[in-house]
Structure 1
Amino acid sequence: MPPNNDRLLVLFLLVGLLGACLWVLLPFASALFWAAVLAFASWPLMRLLTVRLKGRESVAASLLTAGWVILVAVPLLLFGFNLVGYVRELTELINTLRLEGLPPPPDWLAGLPVVGDELVALWRALDQQGLALFATLKPYLGQVGNWLLARSASIGSGMLELVLSLVLVFFFYRDGPRLERFVQSLLERLIGERAEHYRKLVAATVQRVVNGVIGTAAAQGLLALIGFWIAGVPGAMLLGLLTFALSLIPMGPPLAWMPATAWLVWQGDYGYAIFLGIWGMFVISGVDNVLKPYLISRGGNLPLVVVLLGVFGGIYAFGFMGLFLGPTLLAVAYSLLSDWVNEPGPTQGLPEGDRRGRPAEQAERE
């Protein structure tokens, strides 16, 4: 067989082997991705801990993995246990409303200008027609139950992926330097001398996005916890953790503080309800517009709009993983285009006569 055919056959075999490997790893793609994000976000801490432990990488990896278990798994377990209690209370509230109806309308509702009387009339109409309303909604309760069952199954699979991610993050910590050398060699093989530049570009972009997203979510969760505690909302710690989780998606925090505000109105604590509504709108949700752009753009030379478009577009295109994939792809594409535009063309740097395809002496004579 000619040498070219041998090389082509080897290429086909390598492509087939690579496709088979990707097929094997596909069920674990999400867990591998989140383990890589967790390891990447805390890699400076891994380096510091390794130095403090005199190069014992396995011990450092074990300690950091245990830290992630405490920070992530334990709050989720507490959230699950508390969620059961809140579902029970919600069921009791629905049964109470079905049997006893709505409480009398608050006095301040009638005092609202223009719409006060209409709102009081609507309140009383809903109270009188409560039984009919529940009878109307009864056929849909089964569908709601099926939907909740499906969401519970997806939450269960997500928990399993989280556990697998926490297991895999240990190996990312321990074998991180070897993986970094392998990626560096692969990039040098593919794109040559620009490999180091693009490796640093991807690393810096992901690091800034992780800092911006996680840092903003932590700040919003802490501010929400303070607001819930001041307003006297039960389960403030749980709602703070929920706000942290919802902060990872666009427009997520209002899903935590708006129901809490409505609950305060229901309980008649109108002063605290107004406080929590203002705190949620201008402090909890408002910090996202200031802190996230600052953390993402700090220390980088990419336009902020490129990173922000990558965040929102990535979520739309790839789901939650797009939160990190989107800005990374746009950053690499932007850098590639910038390098191509700034690269000298075939006629740049030549004398004027050479640019026109004539000798410089002839151009001078003309």
Structure 2
Amino acid sequence: MSDAAENIYTPRQRHVLLIVALLALGALTLFGLASYLSSFLGAGILYVVLRPWFSALGHRRGWNRQLVTVLLLLFTVVVLMIPFYALSTMLFERLRNIGQYTEQVLTVVHRLERLTGVAFTSEQNVRTLLGQAASQVSHWLPLLAGSLLHLAVVVGLLLFTLYFLFIQEEAFLRNLRRYLPFRPATLAKLWEALHDNVQANVLGLVLISAVQGGLTGVLLWVFQVPDPAFWGAIGFFVAFIPVLGTPLVWGPAAIYQFAQGAIGQGVGILLVGTVVVMNVDNLLRIVLARRLGHVHPVVTLAGMTLGVGLFGIVGLVIGPLLLSYLGVLLRVFAEENRQSRAPEEVAPVADPGRLLPLAGKWCGPPEADPQPAANR
């Protein structure tokens, strides 16, 4: 008698348990990495954006793969860092010179006091505001430190993932073809949908933000708001924020004009900002989605609404991509279902006279036998 323990499971049971174990481990992994999911999604998006350059330099020109990858990563860091560096420099410059605008700030505050009837500058209100500000700052500092650390980890993980996507590109694509349950034709359609959505939403988002920032600067210049170029640059950055966007800039500018007594200019800012600046976002997004990526406008708008709620700002690309993938998979399912039904459609059909109870009504009475029964 053998000492080896006999396995109690049948081959089919082992197969089912293996699938259950894979699903459980996959779900646990996704749950553990949920807070860093944007890193992997962002790396995938940047891979699609930078892949033509990598192919041109690494494949066609024969440059060293690691050198090309490092150059692309440096380019990514520079492109991401320069706008934030410029923004922080402009903000620090304004904060350093804020003392020059003390009188203007006090004038605005006094006007607001007269309009609202609330004494903001009374000693009691000042003490209350300072106490609340100190309490909020002490509460925000640990959160700010934690957010900066989380941001550093997210960016580092994004660059790390992007590096290996380029260095091990062939193995990555080969494993995708091996483990994804799709035919090569389906994978080609999924890749095309990914490329179209990235083109339409990444490049389109940058162009739309630039247009909105420029329009915001022109709007504030026309209605005589101080420093319109600076606020136009701020408008470019806040245009990336879903839902809120440029109203974060021209809304306070309208309040400033109201406080200065320029009621007409404040109303003009609100009207032009609402009618022109906000709607140019939707118009350009629809046009660019069709021109850059051949993505239907409904897919773009509905997908962004879906994606922002699930993934944050990365959802501006991921949301439309999910809807596009849903459409691709539905078409693939319809094609494969039609192919599987093809033999049934060409099979001979049974005599309807035997299938329909009222066949005689439609087919007529049976023909008479030409020979008498006695002659058979």
Q: TM-score, normalised by structure 2?
A: 0.69
Q: Distance in 2 between matches of 1:158 and 1:26?
A: 13
Deviations 1:167-208 (A, max 9, x none): 443333333443233222322xx1335333334334433443
Aligned length: 347
Task: Could you tell me which runs of 5 or more consecutive residues in structure 2 were left unpaired when the two chains were aligned.
Answer: 1-6, 365-376
Alignment partner of 1:54: what SS? Answer: coil
For 2:182, the equivalent position in structure 1 comes to: 191
Which one of the candidate residues 322, 344, 349 is aligned to 2:315?
322
CA spacing shift, 1:346–1:172, aligned 2, 3 Å: closer
Alignment-mate amino acid for residue 243 of structure 1: F
Q: Distance in 2 between matches of 1:129 and 1:72?
A: 41
Deviations 1:188-235 (A, max 9, x none): xx1335333334334433443323323322332344456667867448
Larger radius of gyration: 2
For 2:297, the equivalent position in structure 1 comes to: 304
Q: Distance in 1 between matches of 2:146 and 2:260?
A: 33
Residues 213 and 248 of structure 1 are in contact (CA less than 8 Å); yes or no, is this contact kept in structure 2?
Answer: no
For 1:112, the equivalent position in structure 2 comes to: none
Q: Distance in 2 between matches of 1:26 and 1:59?
A: 32
Residues 251 and 270 of structure 2 are in contact (CA less than 8 Å); yes or no, is this contact kept in structure 1?
Answer: yes
For 2:201, the equivalent position in structure 1 comes to: 209
For 1:295, the equivalent position in structure 2 comes to: 288
For 1:76, the equivalent position in structure 2 comes to: 84
Deviations 1:315-345 (A, max 9, x none): 1234333323322222222333345456438
Displacement of 1:147 in angstroms is: 5.5
For 1:115, the equivalent position in structure 2 comes to: none
Deviations 1:40-93 (A, max 9, x none): 233333333435643433222222222222221133234335444555666997
| Residue 218 (str. 1) matches residue 205 (str. 2) | no
Residues 184 and 196 of structure 1 are in contact (CA less than 8 Å); yes or no, is this contact kept in structure 2?
Answer: no
For 1:116, the equivalent position in structure 2 comes to: none
Residues 220 and 244 of structure 1 are in contact (CA less than 8 Å); yes or no, is this contact kept in structure 2?
Answer: no
Percentage identity across paired residues of the two chains: 22
Q: Distance in 1 between matches of 2:87 and 2:113?
A: 37
Residues 264 and 272 of structure 1 are in contact (CA less than 8 Å); yes or no, is this contact kept in structure 2?
Answer: yes
For 2:137, the equivalent position in structure 1 comes to: 145
Q: How large is the RMSD of aligned CA atoms in angstroms?
A: 4.5
Displacement of 1:253 in angstroms is: 1.4
Which one of the candidate residues 64, 77, 82 is aligned to 2:72?
64
Q: Distance in 2 between matches of 1:203 and 1:357?
A: 55
Deviations 1:333-365 (A, max 9, x none): 233334545643848744794596969xx9996
Alignment partner of 2:62: what SS? Answer: coil
Which one of the candidate residues 177, 193, 200 is aligned to 2:192?
200
Which one of the candidate residues 23, 28, 34 is aligned to 2:42?
34
Deviates more, 1:339-348 or 1:287-296: 339-348
Deviations 1:104-153 (A, max 9, x none): 75xxxxxxxxxxxxx99526x44686445434545533443245436633
Q: TM-score, normalised by structure 1?
A: 0.71
Q: Distance in 2 between matches of 1:153 and 1:229?
A: 37
CA spacing shift, 1:147–1:254, aligned 2, 3 Å: farther
CA spacing shift, 1:71–1:133, aligned 2, 3 Å: same
Q: Distance in 2 between matches of 1:357 and 1:45?
A: 68
Which one of the candidate residues 164, 167, 177 is aligned to 1:174?
167
For 2:327, the equivalent position in structure 1 comes to: 334
Alignment partner of 1:249: what SS? Answer: coil
Q: Distance in 2 between matches of 1:234 and 1:365?
A: 88
Q: Distance in 1 between matches of 2:273 and 2:51?
A: 33
For 2:4, the equivalent position in structure 1 comes to: none
Q: Distance in 2 between matches of 1:177 and 1:357?
A: 61
CA spacing shift, 1:166–1:11, aligned 2, 3 Å: closer
